[in-house]
Amino acid sequence: MRMVLAAILAIAPVVSVQGAPAATSENPLLRLSTLPYHIPPFDRIRVTDYAPAFDAAMRGQLREVAAIAHDPRPPDFQNTIVALDRSGQLLLRVGFLFDELNSNNTSPEMQAIDTEYAVKRSAHKDAVYLDRALWRRLDAVYAKRATLKLNPESRQLLSRWHARFVRAGARLGAADQARLRDLNAKIAALTTRFGQNLLKATAAGAVAVDKVADLDGLSAAQVSAAAEAAQARGLKGQWLIPLENTTQQAVLSQLTNRALRERIYRASVQRCLGGDADNTGVLTDIVRVRAERAALLGYPSHAAYMIEDESAGTPAAARDLLTQAVPAAVGRAHAEAAELQKAIDAQAAAHGTPGFALQPWDWAFYSEAVRKARYDFDAGEVAPYFELNHVVQDGVFYAAHELYGLTFKERKDLPVYRPEVRVFEVFDADGKGLALFIADYFARDNKQGGAWMSAYMEQSRLLGLKAVVSNNLNIPKPEPGQPVFLSFDEVTSLFHEFGHALHGMLSDVEYPSLSGAETPPDFVEYPSQYNEMWAREPQVVAHFAHHYETGAPMPPQLMAKVLAAQQFNAGYATTEYLAAALLDLSWYSLTAAQVPAPADVSAFENAALKTAGVDYALVPPRYHSAYFHHIFDDDYSAGYYAYFWSEVFARDTGAWLHAHGGLTRANGDYLRKTVLSRGRTAEPMELFKNFYGRGPEIGPLLEYRGLAGGG
């Protein structure tokens, strides 16, 4: 569910075509693409193009920055702040492209470039933000901000640039800045290593199966996908179950073979613990170095440093919101476990077989069995109504049309980096081209796990640019010619990630560094989580949920059971998330001296979960530390709480929309005007209050999750 944007958007140097070095070779990265919307020429890009492009782009931005810093004219808003926002366009473009393709289509060669250039890019960013002459000019403009008569968006741009420089260490002395550069380089190297270890361990952890009978419970399409995955690795006569990024694995809800369920679960939780992909030492080093950097910058912890710039403001505020939900979630999880144990005991009695105590690898299977018995349906009955193309075209795109007037046309004339990737041109209600949307939905070994949105190009009126955004999921790819059936969770993920895409595509701002999803993690998840609501809206469901073969609409009573069942396992789902989010805050609330040794990572986890009240062995954290990509190799360090914080905004928004007529253009246009088009042209809480009319309320979220009234 994460959203990827290059260069940790809130603090990255951003953007301009002007001043970029002239192309001196046939390297396609050294010039702005002439394709529609400046989509990258994927078919012409070679791995060997990246290093020279990074080098040229960094040199070019340093020339741009030097020109700003040593401009003989007195510093003003245009020649300093706007000039900064124009700078580094080539570097931003190359970085967006490389980071995205390294996430979804990597290779050993790209990983080698990532290892080398992570440190170089960190040093380059420091060269910009720690330039004393540049800082003096920026600070001088900021000092006279009250007299500049700027419009609100321009005032926000000035404030954001000033905050970025302060947070990057511009006020430190020379010795401390030298230390900061060293710490930033270490963090860049360590986080890159963590991600590469995780990719390697996840691929290596895939579980091979010798007998097709052991896959009992999976659909024919899933068995076919497992055969395809094994064949892709040269495993003849076998079936392969690749690992997903989370602790629990979706197939555990279906496999009848308990021993195989345990194998898969243990392969998941043992990732990056030992061997050549061991992440325990890497993650403790990351925590220590980030704590040292926070102290150098004047903060008690990395969590305090990170959350200061987000809408929560403080780690205490983030933790308080999470802990409000702990009693209801954990209480419900215990009740769910008792019900599952009854199901296990009843099955054993009915078959005259020995019973056993519920284990983590049993939870999903027996939860599905109880769900089926209670709601009288199973996943196989529902799946034919959730065919991928129907869900995308007749669900995701349909809701966007009804709300915002958008239409979509597939562009098969534009280049892609994999044959299964699709490109759509997006048109606004007036028929004008708005953006390009790239859909990359299938799992593969060289693709990072999970689901995310990325931007190849961000909208800006200043630069005359429109958005090019992508959605990435990890749906198992079937054999050629076979349909792709989705679970309802996967349907929800499609709507979720498209909410991120809408945030980028509907952006209508002047300045690139305030564009689209250039918001803190605890607000950037708001549009995506809000957009999930349309996956269950009767009008939208009626439009996309048709049987793949017969075309018959999904019976309303069946969909009602699906939706009712979504709250069935709410205790488990909320507890596993809260455990991960509170674990994240625990790691990043440490000082450098408090960081445990690598051998004590598990002990630290256990103690942190116990302190937070979420230490329930049957409900492990959604991510254990060694494979917690979000916080050790992504933008969400001390920020995994963002999903819950943002979901409060999202569910309040859903309640408001239902109270005002639901799926209507008037509602969509109002949300677009007040939130989705605004990027970070105002602070997140201000944007939300402008839409909602008051501050956020947790009630609608608890009701949505089935936890209202304590569960």
Q: What are the strands, taking DSSP E only, across 41-197?
A: none
Structure tokens at 386: 């959730």
| Rounded Cα distance, 92 and 465, in Å | 13
Half-sphere exposure of 122 (CA within 13 A, CB side): 19
Alpha-carbon span 517 to 501, nearest angstrom? 9
> pLDDT tens digits, residue range 229-260?
999 999 999 999 999 999 999 999 999 999 99
pLDDT at 26: 87
- The arithmetic mean of pLDDT across residues 358-362, rounded, is 98
List the catalytic residue out of 100, 310, 497, 537: 497
Check: CB of residue 340 under 8 Å from CB of residue 370: yes
pLDDT for 5 equals 34
Q: Would the pLDDT of 7 be above 50?
A: no
Q: Is the pLDDT of residue 270 over 90?
A: yes
- Across residues 61-70, what is the average pLDDT? 98
| Per-residue pLDDT tens digits for 177-198 | 999 999 999 999 999 999 999 9
Q: What is the C-alpha to C-alpha distance for residues 201 and 146, in angstroms, rounded to an integer?
A: 54
Other Cβ atoms less than 10 A from the Cβ of 173: the count is 9
Q: What is the largest CA-CA distance in the chain?
A: 89
CA distance 392 to 401: 12
Average pLDDT over residues 265-278: 97
- Per-residue model confidence as pLDDT tens digits over 514-532: 999 999 999 999 999 999 9
Q: Are residues 400 and 406 in contact, defined by beta-carbon separation less than 8 angstroms?
A: yes
The DSSP-derived string for 574-609 is HHHHHHHHHHHHHHHT--GGGPPPGGGHHHHHHHHH
**Equal CATH topology for 28-168 and 384-565+654-710:** no
> Does residue 336 have an active-site annotation?
no
Nearest-angstrom CA–CA distance, 335 and 616: 12
Say which DSSP state 533 is in: G
Task: Provide the pLDDT for residue 278.
Answer: 98
pTM of the model: 0.90
Residue 190 identity (one-letter amino acid):
L
- H or E stretch covering 143: helix 132-143
pLDDT at 709 (0 to 100):
63
Residue 385 Cα to chain centre, angstroms: 27
Q: How confident is the model at residue 689 (pLDDT cuts 50, 70, 90)?
A: very high
- 485 Cβ partners below 8 Å, 6+ apart? 219, 221, 383, 384, 386, 387, 388, 548
**Six token digits for residue 465:** 């640019």
Give pLDDT, residue 25: 57
State the DSSP string of 350-369.
HHT-------HHHHHHHHHH
Mean per-residue pLDDT, 659-668: 97
Question: Is residue 678 helix, strand or coil?
Answer: coil
> If pLDDT is split at 50, 70 and 90, which confidence band does 705 have?
confident
> 1: pLDDT confidence band, cut at 50, 70 and 90?
very low
Q: What is the CATH number of domain 384-565+654-710?
A: 1.10.1370.40
Q: Does residue 354 carry a pLDDT above 60?
A: yes
Across-strand partners of 495? none
Pairing of strands 239-241, 407-410: unpaired
**Is a pLDDT exceeding 50 seen at residue 461?**
yes
Mean pLDDT of the chain: 93
Mean pLDDT across the stretch 151-174? 98
The listed CATH number (1.20.1600.10, 2.130.10.10, 1.20.1050.40, 1.10.15.40) that belongs to domain 28-168 = 1.20.1050.40
pLDDT in tens, 112-160: 999 999 999 999 999 999 999 999 999 999 999 999 999 999 999 999 9
What local confidence, expressed as pLDDT, does residue 371 receive? 87
Q: Decide if 440 contacts 471 (C-beta within 8 A).
A: yes
pLDDT at 478 over 60: yes
- pLDDT: is 375 or 640 the higher one? 640
Residue 95 has pLDDT above 80, yes or no: yes
pLDDT attached to residue 11: 30
Is the predicted pLDDT of residue 711 greater than 60, yes or no?
no
pLDDT of residue 567: 80
Q: Residue by residue, what is the 3-state secondary structure of 239-278?
A: EEECCCCCCCCHHHHCCCCHHHHHHHHHHHHCCCCCHHHC
Domain ranges of the chain: 28-168, 205-271, 384-565+654-710
412: exposed, middle or buried (C-beta count within 10 Å: 0-12, 13-18, 19+)? exposed
φ/ψ (deg, to 5) at 75 = -65, 135
**Orientation of helix 280-296 relative to helix 174-204, angle to 10°:** 160
pLDDT (0 to 100) of residue 386: 97
CA 308 from chain centre, in angstroms, equals: 20
63: left (phi > 0), else alpha (psi -120 to 50), else beta? alpha
Per-residue pLDDT at 12 exceeds 60:
no
Local confidence band at 24 (pLDDT 50, 70, 90 cut-offs): very low
